[in-house]
Amino acid sequence: MDHQTSAMRFNNKFDLNLLVALDHLLHLRSVSGAAARMNVTQSAMSNALLRLRNYFDDELLVKIGRKMELTPRAEALKDSIRDLLVRVDWTIASTSEFDPAQSDRCFKILASDYTMATLVPALLARCEAAAPGIRFDFLQQVQAPERALERGDVDLLIIPREFSSKLHPSEVIVEEDFCAIAWSKGKFARGKLSRSDYTKASHVVMRPAIATQSLETRYLEQGGVTRNEAISTYAFTAIPHLVVGTNRIATLHRRLAKLAQRSLPIRIIELPVSLPIMQQCVQWHRYRSNDAGLIWLRDTMRAAALELR
C-alpha cells in the first residue's frame, strides 16, 4: 500500500512523458530543434522545459552567447535519461518471436566499407532468400561507436575487437590477415618486399572515423614499424585505386586486396613484418540479447561469414 501511494505521488508530481522532451532538449540543446523532432509547437516545448526546470529545480539549458549549453545537472542527467528511454523502448518493442519470412523489419548496422565489400554481399544474398521483406540501413563508422549503440541509433556494430566496448556483448564473426599491395607495373612489380623497402616506400593509409588510427597502423607501431604515410583516405576500398599508376604501396585486408585485384592492376605481396590476425566482431546492446530478430540476424551473419573462408 505504501509503495502504491509513493508511486502515485511520483506520477502526480512528474509527467513521465516529459522524459522524451527532456531527452531531445539535452541532446539537441535547442527548444526549436526538440519541438521539430517531437512534432510539437515551439511554445509547447518551451512549456515542457519550464515544467522540467521546476521539477529539477535547475535551469538545465542556459544561453551562453548564441548557444544553449547544459548545466552540470543536465550533463549528469543526459546519458541516464537516454539509457532509460532506450531500455523502455526496447522492452516494449522486443518480442520472443521473429518470423524472417514475414518480417519487414529494418535493421540498422554500423559497418566499415571493408565489411560492406566483403561480408555484407554474402549476408544480403542469404537474407533475400530467407527474409525477402526485411530491410537494412548501413551507417558509416563514427567515433565512439558504442554511443550509437547505447542511444538506440543502431542495432548492431561490426567492428574490430580492439574497438568494441566491454560494456556490451560481442562475438567474433570474421578473422582477417593483412598483406601489402602495389601497382603491378611499378617499382614493386616483382620480387619480395624487404622490411627496408617497406619502411622507405611511400604508403597509402586509411584514417578511420572510429579511432585516431587504423588497426594495421596500431599493429605496426606495436611492432616498432613506422610508415612513410604519403596519402591518407577515409575509405579502405579507395586504397587500391590510389596505388595504381604509382610506386606507392599499402597495407590492406587480404580479402579486400583479392577483390580489388579482379578489376585493378595490383600485385599482392607478403608483408615483411608479422601482424596479428584481425578479429572482426558483431556487437549488440546488452539489453537486447533476447531480441529474436537480432538473434536470427547474428546467426545469418555467422553463416554468411563462413562463406568467406
Each of the 309 residues of the chain gets a pLDDT tens digit; together they read 333 333 333 455 667 778 889 999 998 999 999 999 899 999 999 999 999 999 899 999 998 988 889 999 999 998 888 878 877 777 766 666 889 999 999 999 999 999 999 999 999 999 999 999 999 999 998 888 888 898 888 999 999 999 999 999 999 999 999 999 999 999 999 999 999 999 999 999 998 876 677 889 999 999 999 999 999 999 999 999 999 999 999 999 999 999 999 999 999 999 999 999 999 999 999 988 989 999 999 999 999 999 987
Q: Is CATH 2.40.50.140 what the domain over 2-93 is classified as, yes or no? A: no
How far apart, in Å, are the Cα atoms of 48 and each of 8, 11, 23, 62, 71? 21, 16, 12, 15, 17
Measured between alpha carbons, how far is 187 from 255 in angstroms, rounded to an integer? 23
* Residue located via cell numbers 548501413: 138
In this prediction, residue 110 carries a pLDDT of: 97
106-175+279-306 and 178-276 agree in CATH topology: yes
Per the CB < 8 A criterion, the answer to whether 203 and 226 are in contact is no
The helix/strand/coil state of 280 is: strand
CATH of the structural domain 178-276, one choice from 3.40.50.720, 1.10.3720.10, 3.40.190.10, 1.10.10.10: 3.40.190.10
pTM across the whole model: 0.77
Q: What percent of the chain has pLDDT over 70?
A: 93
Q: Where are the domains of the chain?
A: 2-93, 106-175+279-306, 178-276
- Of 40, 37, 77, the C-alpha closest to 61 is 77
Per-residue DSSP letters for 151-208? TTS-SEEEEEGGGS-TTS-EEEEEEE-EEEEEETTSTTSSS---HHHHHHSEEEEE--
Fold annotation for 106-175+279-306 = D-Maltodextrin-Binding Protein; domain 2 (3.40.190)
- Of 60, 280, 59, the C-alpha closest to 164 is 280
